[in-house]
Amino acid sequence: MAGYTRFEKLLEPGYIGKVKTRNRMVKTAAYGWILYDMANGALRPEGLAYYEAIAKGGIGLQIMEISAIHPDTIGRPLYDDKYIPVERQITDRMHKHGCPTFVQFYDFRPLLQHPVTIAASAFCYPAKLDMNNALPTAFTTQEVQDEVDMVASAAVRAQKAEYDGVELNAGCSHLFATFLSRFWNKRTDQYGPQNLENRARIVVEMIQEIKKRCGSDYPVSVLMNGFELNVLELGNNADCSTFEETTEFAKLFEQAGADLLHVRSQSIGNHLTGFFPEKYFMFGSPDNGYGHPMDFKKFYPEFITRYDGAAGFIDTAAIIKKAVSIPVMTVGSMDPRLHPEAAENAIRQGLIDFMGMTRPLTADPELPNKLSAGKLDEVRPCTYCITCFPQTRCRVNAASTRADGAEMPEGYEVQPAETKKNVLVVGGGPAGMEAARVSALRGHQVTLYEKKSRLGGLMPLAAMVKGRHEKIVDFVNYLSDQLSRLGVKVKLGQEANLSEIDTVKPDVVIVATGGVSTTPDISGINNSKVLSNSSLHRTLESGLRFVSPFTLRTLTNFYMPVGQKVIIIGGQIQGIQLAEFLVRRGRDVTIVDEGPEENLALHLPDFMKPRVIIYCQAHGVKTLMNVKCHEVNAEGLTITTSYGVKQTLKADSIICALPSSADTGFTDSLRGRVTEVYAVGDCNKSGVIVDAIEAGNLIARKI
């Protein structure tokens, strides 16, 4: 019952209009595209399983995303009555578990080049990290009024499909938000920026029309920006919405009949930080996303920084809440596992009424039930890598896009094995640990051998390089704890050689020994100034014996066998993140890669890729893609550029940071010795953490 004491307010029921929620935690409208069968206007089986798992896991309310109000809008069609029975598949599953469910409306019409094609005005703000960097078409007055009608008609269909309420997305730089903002809105009609009522008119009319058609008791939530901040041109906020304006919007929405205000922020020029505020801190000290320091005390003093940006919008939401009498919710890395006091205290103090989240629930759909049972230490941690957005893959939860699908027909729950086996796992990295965990869940007797003195493989090193904003060490600790709870015998500092395997006589061996460093075929590559990934890892590994990866991340002068001028061979995820790590330690870094331009930062999640590239560029990292490497010599590295120019790049140190290569030797040696042999992770196919977890999980489910 400890969970009830620690999270008393978070776990108590709440009300949105007349809809009662089981607790104050809300699954917000966010995940991704691949869970949807767009051709048939429905969720794929994997999508239904994903949302049902969250409902079953005890969330107070779910808000479904990607609903289309007309044929040109991306999403599940709610523009035709024939789709009402399809939507019932969703609400029936949610209600089966006692979970009220809303559906969100916004207008998302994509171009081939960019996702925003309509707005309040034909105005754009070019910025690589923002959504509005393609000139949209301005709505006519009639089109605005047609939009109101289509939204209200979709709400009627949502009500018939037994959704418990609807949400209007007027946040960030989405269509409805462009009317609210003087920055985007340059109109001259009754929906223009001449006064607050005009700017709010489109949202107000939508609320009123929904209430007119669905009844005054049908709940309407409004997702809105509590504050706008121009993060590309810091200090240039002349046309940005102020708190004085947004509180007036909040009052107008309440007067129109809104039942909930869902508050976040708009970072003009940096879309992602409007709802993932911790990403301001991904390079350590606050950064605007373009490699420049972000002084919150100067530009946005209401933003909460004490959790490294997480829960950053609580005080913003609190300003809105003072102006209204209806409930207020906020989002932004509101993870009770990470910051158990943040949301709980905010609700206790009356700053907010509900806490929204998605990523922690994708990582562990059972999070609310575990909080209620006092099992906070058993929550599978979100690592905040953003692999899930928009790719819809979870680094730590392989079932999130597979349950009930072809790869995982058994669903979320790991099923007991029909025949219990003696399973030996070789390697304690992510693939091996996940394979051991799932094998033990199935009832097998599992032993894991790891030749090093600790578990995690390269994950602690990845944590050091990537930084504390990614909770990789938390995930290592979770897996290690799970192995202990499940009775897996872990043998550290012990190599599972053929002699050992012959002695143990396992029924199954899962090989997860990792890949081998890839050495480029370049003359002079054995020069003393060349460091392979493995040799650099060994040096940094020694540092991990004395300090934590998080501490090591912040040190700038600890010993590394790396000179001042560094060339990194390889520009994919390994090379670009190593470059960022080194440039923060004062190194002059150049990346060279024989691959094409699109390989730069390959395998970084889509929303992380431009941030890391821009940060590196802003700090002097030079990138040369599509080159030909010829020779390592006393001066450095001789290359031919993509323009055909041959030159020698001077370097004190050269680091090979290429993807590892598969290493099947040990696996092959077991064929014929053991009945079942499987290879997972980099020893089978080079990948990143999410690939390793998926491989280990899927193999173990089949044993």
Among candidate residues 340, 344, 370, 329, the one with its CA nearest the CA of residue 57:
370
**How many structural domains is the chain composed of?**
3
Give a yes or no: residue 410 inside a domain.
no
Q: Are residues 345 and 248 part of one domain?
A: yes
Return the pLDDT at 552: 47
Specify whether the CB–CB gap between 616 and 287 falls below 8 A. Answer: no
Helix (H) or strand (E) holding 150: helix 141-160
Alpha-carbon torsion (356, 4, 365, 100), positive or negative: negative
Return the pLDDT at 701: 98
Helix (H) or strand (E) holding 84: helix 84-96
Q: Are residues 120 and 245 part of one domain?
A: yes
Q: Are residues 557 and 460 part of one domain?
A: no
User: For residues 428 and 136, what is the distance between their CA atoms, to the nearest angstrom?
Assistant: 51
Q: Are residues 268 and 384 part of one domain?
A: yes
Return the pLDDT at 50: 95
Q: Are residues 668 and 541 part of one domain?
A: no
Give a yes or no: residue 619 inside a domain.
yes
To the nearest 10 degrees (0 to 180), the angle between helices 243-256 and 196-214 is 30
Q: Which two tokens stand for residue 327?
A: 């409930």
Q: Are residues 587 and 498 part of one domain?
A: no
The CATH number for 590's domain is 3.50.50.60
pLDDT mean for each 10 residues of the chain (703 residues):
69 98 96 74 90 97 93 88 94 97 88 61 86 84 97 98 98 94 96 98 98 98 97 93 97 98 95 93 93 94 95 98 98 93 96 97 97 96 92 92 95 96 98 98 98 95 90 97 98 95 96 94 94 66 53 51 94 97 95 97 93 96 97 97 96 95 95 96 96 98 97
Give a yes or no: residue 417 inside a domain.
no
Q: Which two tokens stand for residue 113?
A: 């080049």
Whose tokens are 């919150």? That residue is 296
Q: Are residues 284 and 219 part of one domain?
A: yes
Return the pLDDT at 127: 86
Whose tokens are 């940006």? That residue is 309
The CATH number for 697's domain is 3.40.50.720
Q: Are residues 434 and 573 part of one domain?
A: no
Give a yes or no: residue 407 inside a domain.
no
Kindly give the residue spans of alpha helices, DSSP state H, lying in 171-222: 175-180, 196-214
Q: Are residues 307 and 174 part of one domain?
A: yes
Q: Given its phi and psi angles, is residue 144 left (phi above 0), alpha (psi -120 to 50 degrees) or beta? A: alpha
Kindly give the residue spans of alpha helices, DSSP state H, lying in 636-685: 665-670
Return the pLDDT at 539: 61
Return the pLDDT at 224: 98
Q: Are residues 172 and 27 part of one domain?
A: yes
Specify whether the CB–CB gap between 164 and 19 falls below 8 A. Answer: yes
586 by Cβ neighbours in 10 Å (0-12 / 13-18 / 19+) ranks as exposed
Q: Are residues 236 and 166 part of one domain?
A: yes
Give a yes or no: residue 624 inside a domain.
yes
Q: Which two tokens stand for residue 370?
A: 């575990």
Q: pTM of the predicted model, to two decimals?
A: 0.94
Q: What residue numbers bound the domain in which 428 lies?
A: 422-516+662-702
Give a yes or no: residue 535 inside a domain.
yes
Give a yes or no: residue 411 inside a domain.
no
Q: Are residues 642 and 506 part of one domain?
A: no
Burial readout 377-407 (b: 16 or more C-beta within 10 A, e: otherwise): ebbbbbbbbbbbbebbbbbbbbbbbbbbbeb
Give a yes or no: residue 437 inside a domain.
yes
